[in-house]
Amino acid sequence: MNSKRAVLLEFYADWCAPCLRVSPIVADLAHEFEGKLRLIRVNVDTDSALVEKYRVYSLPTVVFVVGGREVDRMIGSKTKGKYRAAIIKSLGQRKSIKS
């Protein structure tokens, strides 16, 4: 996760109803912030290493990683506006990490 771009990790499961609501929102925002943000979808049923590394216990969980470190996390289904605000905040932290 040492990407030059900010990384948004979306932890989900196919059987998780709230995840089904969040996924299109997160995908749309990843497209909106294309070039600044990389979306990685993590299926908790098939990628236990990342689930353990980021200590994900609830779904959906969205983790914001900048410069290889977690800078923010959102648990549960949120509005598009709340996710957008968290992305903007995380991108701001990316600038301060570069300095």
Q: Tell me the catalytic residues.
A: 16, 19
pLDDT of residue 95: 53
87 in any annotated domain:
yes
Task: Show the domain range for 42.
Answer: 6-98
Torsion of the alpha carbons at 29, 17, 55 and 64, rounded to the nearest 10? 10
pTM of the prediction?
0.89
What's the CATH number where 31 sits? 3.40.30.10
Residue 1 belongs to some domain of the structure: no
Q: Quick one: pLDDT at residue 99?
A: 41
Structurally, the chain folds into a number of domains equal to 1
Of the candidates 17, 37, 44, the one whose C-alpha atom is nearest the C-alpha of residue 83 is: 37
Whether residue 93 lies inside any domain: the answer is: yes
What pLDDT, in 10s, does the model give residues 47-97?
999 999 999 999 999 999 998 899 999 999 999 999 999 999 988 875 554
Give one word for 62, left, alpha or beta, with left for phi > 0 and alpha for psi -120 to 50.
beta
